[in-house]
Amino acid sequence: MVDNQETLLKVEHLCQYFKAGGGFETKAVDDVSFEIKKGEVFGLVGESGCGKTTTGRSIIKLYDITSGSVYFKGQRICAGTRSYKEAIAKAKKELAEAKDPAEKERLNKLIAEQKEEMKKAKEDHKHADPKLVTQIQMIFQDPIASLDPRMTVRDIIAEGLVIRGERNKEVIDQKVYEMLELVGLVKEHATRYPHEFSGGQRQRIGVARSIIMNPELIIADEPVSALDVSVQAQVINLLNDLRERFGLTIMFIAHDLSVVKYFSDRIGVMYFGKMVELADSDELFAHPLHPYTKSLLSAIPLPDPIYEKARKRIVYNPLAEHDYSVDKPSLREVSPGHFVHCNDAEFERIQKELNA
């Protein structure tokens, strides 16, 4: 991967909160930022419930994001307003207590700026170019639940083309047959229904449905987690072939680190809605710096009984590992291209570790 590649997708301070019972909020994704370069595979890993899938679904606009921005090919396609509302409320509170005329003028100016930014965010989110958004497609995690059981394979794969306005039946059929052959199926499968296929075949149908739209970015949400190991390899190899053939950029969401290492150029590690580490694939596996990343890597089993007997699991306890009561953490670049979620004290400790 070349450093000067064009940035295809840029995620800035993405927050996705959901209302829970009793008026509480669940912070599924909390202040996550990263970039994906054109032509690369960006892996997103973490345990179940850490916010990986929510991040992918937020990018593709299946959810209205709470706060932050998502830029695709330089244009903002998603924008949340929570941060602007909070900044306005804070400034109004300070304005009510302010005595100095210069301070009042500054706060009034700040409120006007935030209102203008919020208006722009709403406009960008509501009026994002649909043709641009459809250049991002998603392969869903569950190959059974993501396919409509009442639709034939032809209708499932062709649905995107029909929505986009294609009406020529011959053109649609030809395109569907071409996609089926591309993913290792045959055109006779087009008249069948999803329940007539195995898990691996269903996932191939999901891949065909996404690539028929000729996307630039595919968000693959744990596309192999529900499949047997041998079928996993087939689907991964299929994605690799399609990547090379069409020049695809892929955001690969998974919790199987060995698969991610094989397939990804760069990897982001998520924990409880936060991005805790981000680095090149080889760098992350060779020099994990965040305690949670070290814990994840220590859990990878190897087919070596001697190694397995000696392997020691590292347990990650965030309360014991970090003291963020005063010194608050943020995602910081500790070495070129290697980012870690840490505070000032941890940053100094990491620098000493790297320079030792």
**Mean local confidence (pLDDT), 126-133:** 89
Q: Is 11's pLDDT higher than 70? A: yes
Q: Is 262's pLDDT higher than 90? A: no
Instruction: State whether CATH 3.40.50.300 applies to domain 1-73+248-356.
Output: yes
Q: Is 2's pLDDT higher than 50? A: no
Rounded CA-CA distance 82/90 in Å is 12
Q: How far is residue 160 from each of residues 135, 170, 175, 213, measured CA to CA in Å?
A: 11, 16, 12, 7
pLDDT band at 146 (very low <50, low <70, confident <90, very high): confident
pLDDT band at 230 (very low <50, low <70, confident <90, very high): confident
In a 3-state reduction of DSSP, which class is residue 25? strand
Q: Judge contact between 29 and 273, C-beta under 8 A.
A: yes
**Considering only 54-63, 227-236, 276-285, which range has the smallest mean pLDDT?**
227-236
Which tokens is 225 given? 């987690």
Q: What percent of the chain has pLDDT over 70?
A: 99
Q: What percent of the chain has pLDDT over 90?
A: 58
Rounded CA-CA distance 189/294 in Å is 45
**Mean local confidence (pLDDT), 111-117:** 94
